[in-house]
Amino acid sequence: MTLDRILQSQGFGTRRYCGDLIGAGLVEVNGELCEDPRAQFEVDGLRLTVDGEAWVACTKAYLMLNKPAGYECSQRPRNHPSVYNLLPVPLRQREVQAVGRLDHDTTGLLLLTDDGQFIHAQTSPKRKVPKVYEVTTAEPVTPEQAEALRAGVQLDDEPAPIAAEACEITGEHSLRLTLLQGKYHQVKRMVVAAGNHVTALHRSAVGGLKLDPALPEGEWRWLTPEDLAALNSKE
């Protein structure tokens, strides 16, 4: 692909604007200045520096974000800033989307991509991708509450009880809940139905992929091939 089209595909602007950046000597490729917009390169793994910004080119973007509280997973947020404001302009320009949503007050692992097939595969109810949540509760967690969550609790708008795939008490006021569904406010509603109340909620894993402990809150990073493989693991 030509260099101007590569920059365009990465979200750096229109093809003409990207060509102007290249012609102005503002683009390096693999550490070397390139002033030819028509120079040809393979996209994936190409190391770019665009007007001083380092970038690794990829045909499709796959990333994890350590979502902080107080952000909405919406392009048109109503009451809080958009989680997309935490991403650099090129990723926003190429319209990456959250793979499912977290409530504004929920923190932790959020996946984003511009690959529609990937979003469908990860969010399809048929896939039953497990998601792990660290739950802080208002009242002490009892064994009876944990057992109720494992056995299934009745939610107002559901025809049948909803059960957690796993539920582990991790502290006096905390538990680890694994769900295979993705219903509206599901964790909070299930905990209420079991006789308690959620005061804080953090998603720690999706499939076999855990939130990178080295990733600061509010920061993002690319998913590695190992990360993508882990997503397909349910262990």
Catalytic residues: 103
Q: Which helix (H) or strand (E) holds 123?
A: helix 116-123
| Short-list 109, 108, 17, 116, CA closest to 61 | 116
Cα separation, 230 vs 192, whole angstroms = 32
Counting DSSP H helices and E strands in the chain, the numbers are 7, 13
d(CA 94, CA 122): 20
The identity of residue 109, as a single letter, is L
Q: Which letter does DSSP use for residue 83 in this model?
A: G
Instruction: Give, in order, the Cα–Cα distances in Å from 118 to each of 12, 63, 100, 142.
Output: 23, 12, 11, 38
Instruction: Give the pair of three-digit tokens for residue 198.
Output: 């959620």
CB contact at 8 A, 203 and 135? no
